[in-house]
Amino acid sequence: MNFNKILSIFLILGIGITTSFAYAQVDVNDIEFLQTGIINTAENEFSISNDIALREFFNGNIVRVSGQTIEGFPYITYSEILNEKIKTRGIIFVGGEFVKLSFEEKSLQEEDTVEKKDDLQILVKYSQRVYSKQTASIEIKTYDPEQNKLKDFNQNYGFIPNINIKVIVLDENNNEFHSTTGITNSKGFFETEFYIPERYPQETLTVTITAEDDDSTSSKILQVFTLGAIPDNGSSP
């Protein structure tokens, strides 16, 4: 998708790209999601990868950031100074459609006093690619994000047990392919798997994982690629 088409989508969503009467240039270090590595929609949280592109407009008063999340979803954002506050807007392409990203405005004159959220940290190991007549596995762990800042799936402390887990797998027609619910064990662990039938076509399955307790709710979206039949020579496509 070219830039002009993306630009038109921004305009439709009310994401204006105009010159602002800013008092200072946008400092990349002040763009919060680049510090945390996290972007959010109204319903889901995503971790951005290190492969990002930055470009400045209007003498540095606007910074465009584009890239992909770790899960493989492309996104694009614009950050500008408006009344001495950094205002960031953007979209992400998930599940075959563009979804608005949610950002909090940050004042350049105030210290970062935003209280830390008591969200759950969801870490996942899963089968990213799977052939027909094979089983895809999803291993989930829930951590206290303050105790696992490196997002290490194998960390042996900081678990959050007794978390309600819901997993929904949808095919490309948004039909349910697999779903399950359960509770994390004493080590914050939950596992599920699903079978890819014989002669199942090559397509992308969308996996939504929701973790919830009495105080917090977090979710994560992944993609699993079905590759069809195993090649006769046993090699990967």
**Nearest Cα residue to 179 out of 162, 192, 189:** 192
Percent of the chain with pLDDT over 70: 77
**Backbone phi and psi for residue 21, each to the nearest 5 degrees, phi listed first:** -85, 75
CA 129 to chain centroid, in Å, comes to 19
Does the pLDDT of residue 97 top 60, yes or no? Answer: yes
Reported as a single tens digit per residue, the pLDDT across 166-197 is 999 999 888 899 999 999 999 999 999 999 99
Between 6 and 189, the more confident residue is 189
Average pLDDT over the chain, rounded to an integer? 80
Q: Which two tokens stand for residue 213?
A: 């307790």
Buried b / exposed e across 61-96, counting CB within 10 Å, b at 16+? Answer: bbbbbbbbbebbbebbbbbbbeeeebbbbbbbbbee
Look at residue 55 and give its three-state secondary structure.
strand
pTM as predicted = 0.57
Domain definitions of the chain by residue range: 3-107, 121-226
Q: How confident is the model at residue 102 (pLDDT cuts 50, 70, 90)?
A: confident
pLDDT at residue 82 in the model? 66
Map tokens 């002040």 to a residue. 30
Candidate from 142-156, 157-171, 207-221 with smallest mean pLDDT: 207-221
Span 66-79, average pLDDT: 90
One DSSP character per residue, 151-219 reads: --TT-SS-B--S-EEEEEEE-TTS-EEEEEEEE--TTSEEEEEEEPPTTPPSEEEEEEEEEE-SS-EEE
d(CA 136, CA 203): 14
What are the start-end ranges of the H helices in the chain?
Answer: 3-12, 32-36
Pick the CATH number of 121-226 from 2.60.40.1930, 1.10.357.10, 3.30.420.40, 2.40.110.20: 2.60.40.1930
**Backbone phi and psi for residue 5, each to the nearest 5 degrees, phi listed first:** -70, -40
Look at residue 32 and give its three-state secondary structure.
helix
